[in-house]
Amino acid sequence: MDKIVVEGGSRLVGDIPIGGAKNAALPLLASALLPNGPSTFKNVPLLQDVATMGKLLRQLGCEVDGKHTMVIHPPTAKKAKLEAPYELVKTMRASIVVLGPLVARYGRARVSQPGGCAIGTRPIDQHLKGLAAMGAKIHLDHGYVDVECKRLKGATIVLDMPTVTGCENLMMAAALAKGRTVIENAAREPEVEDLGLVLNKMGAKVTGAGTAIITIEGVDELQPIEHTIIPDRIEAGTFAIAAALTRGDVLLQGARAEHMDAIIAKLRAAGSTVTVEAGGVRVRGGGDILPIDITTQPHPGFPTDMQAQFMVLATQAKGQSMIREMIFENRYMHVPELSRMGADIHVDGRTAIIRGGTKLSGAAVMATDLRASASLVLAGLVASGKTEVLRVYHLDRGYETIEKKLRGVGAKVKRVKA
Ligand code: EPU
């Protein structure tokens, strides 16, 4: 299997182009099931998860063409195959976002239940609760969820927590439902807002996407669209940490600061200079890295997807930092690996205490989660000697050629093919 090899010690200077957002692309590609014709998405990131979504859409009967620009032609009701099989769902939980559009457009869906994953149990009860409130009949058997409803009906749904993909599934379902759906305690992530935009382009009537209350007036039919996917705020945040850690000066080309408020606030608190420029967001490290306190929260709070990367920054801070992970119950898998590299981190339940100022030394490391893997690459940038990050397929799920992008700003990083 491939590995990423990092030689620590380089100061990163230059521009890094930020790709389209993975977590926007996945629900948007699924939304192409809704209209009666081919939709086109631009700025699609070339990632393993996107390839998996393409495979799933083909399996459902879609024609899928292109890479960075993807055209998706949904099947007619006669040709649609309404099952998302275990083989695909087990490799990507986000496959669940086809459930809402399938039921809304074709009246039926059978989707493998995702089950838990490395970072937590991650149930889908809120997705199902919402669909049931809209009149769907739901049946669970043999690890699959069968959902059926000739035409969904609008409903008021109060989510127990602002689940991102849950909210997206229900928005897509509601777009073709009869009447008005109101989603309360909705997720406010920029990716949810982007989906609202796309549904409106298709002819749905969505208001409030990006706020805690989303209202969707269902329509009878939706039209195909063309859309450019927003930049990936987590990819941008990951490279921001690379700049801060190496006391570098990096322009995150195309990054949108308004999607990154919580990340930028913590970068500044840690001593980096962050400026918004016409071409993107510039991050300059220099001087001491300061300790930080972080609690992960739903947007606009600090994102769980940046927790592991900030922990690496905290290992280099002058003093003690504290991180609390409040979204997923098992998202500290990078800790034992960082400890093997010399970090001083103590975890108690959801809280991690990081005693900063430790010298990291390169080692062979691996993690079973995408963001944890990214944090190990970051640690390698400031570790002495060589760090080998194994299980690269986790990185490839969410970062397009991370090694090339880092090399472009002066890092000594390469991919070694197995
Ligand atoms: N939850 C439930 N019931 C549900 C749905 C969620 O209990 O029906 C819980 C989850 O177990 C978790 C919390 O609610 O504790 C929030 O989970 P959420 O549903 O918001 O997560 P998700 O939609 O499965 C998306 C991203 C994740 C990101 C989280 C949180 C996509 C495709 N994935 O997952 O991205 O961490 O939101 O922001 O949008 C990543 O990119 O590395 C990644 C894991």
Of the chain, the percentage scoring pLDDT greater than 70 comes to: 100
User: CA-CA distances (angstroms) from residue 261 to 291, 296, 378?
Assistant: 19, 13, 21
- Round to whole Å and give the CA distance between 199 and 195: 6
CA of 123 relative to ligand 1 center, distance in Å: 9
Note whether 239 and 17 are within 8 A (CB).
no
**pLDDT reported for residue 122:** 82
Bridge partners, residue 141, by sequence: 144
Placement of tokens 């450019």 in the chain: 228
Find the Cα–Cα–Cα–Cα dihedral 251, 254, 256, 260, rounded to 10°. -50
Of the pLDDT bands very low, low, confident and very high (cuts 50, 70, 90), residue 116 is low
Chain-centroid distance, C-alpha 294: 19
Q: E strands, 55-176, where?
A: 63-65, 70-73, 83-84, 108-112, 137-141, 144-148, 156-158
Closest C-alpha among 160, 132, 167 to residue 146: 132
pTM of the shown model: 0.98
Ligand 1 atom 4: residue of nearest CA: 124
Protein residue closest via CA to atom 37 of ligand 1? 164
pLDDT score recorded for residue 126? 97
pLDDT at 121 over 80: no
* Dist. CA 3–CA 366, nearest whole Å: 10
CA distances from 29 to 54, 58, 67, 224 (A): 8, 11, 12, 12
What was the pLDDT predicted at 115? Answer: 66
C-alpha 383 to ligand 1 mean position (Å): 31
CA distance 168 to 165: 5
Q: How many angstroms does the Cα of residue 9 sit away from the middle of ligand 1?
A: 35
Convert the pLDDT of each residue in 267-297 to its tens digit: 999 999 999 999 999 999 989 999 999 999 9
| Tokens encoding 341 | 């590299």
CB 191 within 8 A of CB 215: no
3-state secondary structure of 226: strand
Any idea which of 67-71, 86-90, 103-107, 214-218 has the lowest mean pLDDT? 86-90
Long-range CB pairs of 334-339 (<8 Å, 24+ gap) are 334/308, 334/367, 334/369, 334/371, 334/372, 334/375, 334/376, 335/311, 337/365, 337/366, 337/367, 337/372, 337/376, 338/311, 338/312, 338/375, 338/376, 338/379
For the stretch 128-167, pLDDT in tens is 999 999 999 999 999 999 999 999 999 999 999 999 999 9
Query: pLDDT tens digits for 184-209?
Result: 999 999 999 999 999 999 999 999 99
Tens digit of pLDDT for each residue in 48-90? 999 999 999 999 999 999 999 999 999 999 999 999 999 999 9
Ligand 1 atom 40: residue of nearest CA? 305
Q: How far is the CA of 94 from the centre of ligand 1 (A)?
A: 9
* For the chain, the helix, strand and coil percentages under 3-state DSSP, each to the nearest 5: 35, 25, 40
The H-assigned helical ranges of 220-306 are: 233-245, 261-269
The protein residue with its alpha carbon nearest to ligand 1, atom 19, reads: 163
- Please state the atom number of ligand 1 nearest to the C-alpha of residue 370: 42
The number of beta carbons lying within 10 Å of the beta carbon of residue 42 is 13
- CA 305 – ligand 1 centroid, Å: 10
- Could you tell me the two tokens for 328? 């997923």
- Residue in 62, 117, 149, 167 annotated catalytic: 117
Q: Please give the Cα distance from 41 to 412 (Å, whole number).
A: 34
* Lookup: tokens for 377: 């690459």
Tell me the sheet residues that pair with 386.
Answer: 7
Pocket of ligand 1 (CB under 6 A): 22-23, 26, 94, 120, 122-127, 161, 163-166, 187, 303-305, 327-328, 370-371, 398
Which H or E element spans position 324?
A: strand 320-324
Mutational pocket test of ligand 1: of 91, 125, 131, 161, the residue with most ligand atoms within 8 Å of the beta carbon: 161
Tokens of 317: 């801070």
- Please tell me the residue having the least CA distance from ligand 1 atom 36: 305
Model confidence pLDDT, tens digit, residues 162-185: 999 999 999 999 999 999 999 999
Q: Are strands 249-253 and 280-284 parallel, antiparallel or unpaired?
A: antiparallel
Q: Is the pLDDT of residue 398 over 70?
A: yes
Indicate if 117 belongs to the active site.
Answer: yes
Q: In 269-286, which positions are buried (b, 16+ CB within 10 angstroms) versus exposed (e)?
A: ebbbebeeeeebbbbbbe
Q: Which residues pair with 413 in a beta bridge?
A: 6
CA–CA distance, 226 with 173 (Å, rounded to integer): 20
